[in-house]
Structure 1
């Protein structure tokens, strides 16, 4: 059971932004960003069973598998912290649930804010959606690409549902483009094996010999 870290009130409420799309052979490829998620590092706060939040990020053709899902624990809220293996240009999101009150009704997105808690969701999101019930994956919520053009970490806050005591999700699909993160070049330093006297200041001492008569 994940720890609960407080609540945040919704900000920046907006109209429902979604578009219905027909299935196509390329649809699975378009929503293949689940392959670019560090699943072992993915966090889901307020999940009723530990590790269940990872199960909803799966292949497109498995989106209807209702044996894999996540439910919230204490109330209707869920918070996914999703690290990617590179940089993502996010373009769209699908969220599938039940055709009842447990289906999320509001989704809030935050970019590049790793390890968010529910206290952190008190600030306005980078984008917010009013959701419709979707049990088949037909509704795509278009993301503001200019705002999400370089994302290495995405947080999804499910803040409300349609009146249920808990929220339930079967599938979250992410559409976009992935590029490999640039690695810092390694600087090779060469150290001297032995000091060169010509490169260093050397103080020369001439000892004085005293003769005792």
Structure 2
């Protein structure tokens, strides 16, 4: 189900609820294909830092692969009402063209799934698929060089899918640079990595604790290591969360 609605997140608390950052089990968050270790964790920032461009999450430049798969468990079951995903720009082109990045174009959202790899996330129907608006959509652009455009909240519907969530998995399979190149018939253009600066959720806790289990994860999961459908997502050994 595609999601295109959104709201501007002017307040820390609004009709969509409070930030769920306090409920995220940071030690168990991981992202496959991230450009550096724990880059995925680094973009789960406090709400007041949502406009900061550093630290960020990027897909690696050395393998021309723009996909990212991120798993976020919670310390207790939560109700998620909205998600915010923020990139620097549709296509960010600094003076050094080799450092260009692009904001993600779509986000597939899966609730309470611990069995996803890249192949299954690419093919499986998600609980919701969000078409992310370009960062330039917000008219109020910050003038401070350390800040980018504002952020947008995308409500998650149907709401019943996101009640009693113990984890959420996000798949970013494309970005604006790829979509624009395909639209112009320039599929052979150089691949521009995906960049994400902030991921946030709003909703509420339930006080239902998630059962703790012990897992051992790779320090940096690569796509070539996660091609078998049904394999544990990001785990070397031990049960899934």
Match of 2:207 among 167, 180, 186: 180
Structure 2 length as normaliser, TM-score? 0.65
Say which one has the larger Rg.
Answer: 1
What is the aligned-residue RMSD (CA, Å)? 2.2
Q: Distance in 2 between matches of 1:118 and 1:17?
A: 24
Count matched residues: 170
Match of 2:71 among 69, 76, 81: 81
Q: Distance in 2 between matches of 1:151 and 1:19?
A: 21
Deviation string 1:89-134 (CA, Å, 9 cap, x unpaired) is: 1100111111233100000001111252112212111110111112
Is 1:56–2:38 an aligned residue pair? no
In structure 2, relative to structure 1, the CA distance for the partners of 1:169 and 1:183 (3 Å cut) is closer
Match of 1:94 among 84, 88, 93: 84
- Structure 2 unaligned segments of length 5 or more: list them: 92-101, 136-147, 179-191, 212-241
In structure 2, relative to structure 1, the CA distance for the partners of 1:87 and 1:49 (3 Å cut) is same
Which stretch shows the higher mean deviation, 117-126 or 35-44? 117-126
Corresponding residue of 1:45: 32
Corresponding residue of 1:146: 160
Contact 2:12 2:18 in 1 (8 A): no
Structure 1 length as normaliser, TM-score? 0.73
Match of 2:10 among 12, 20, 23: 23
Q: Write out the 4+ residue segments of structure 1 that deviate beyond 6 Å after TM superposition.
A: none
Contact 2:17 2:81 in 1 (8 A): no
Corresponding residue of 2:195: 168
- Structure 1 unaligned segments of length 5 or more: list them: 1-11, 185-213
Contact 1:95 1:171 in 2 (8 A): yes
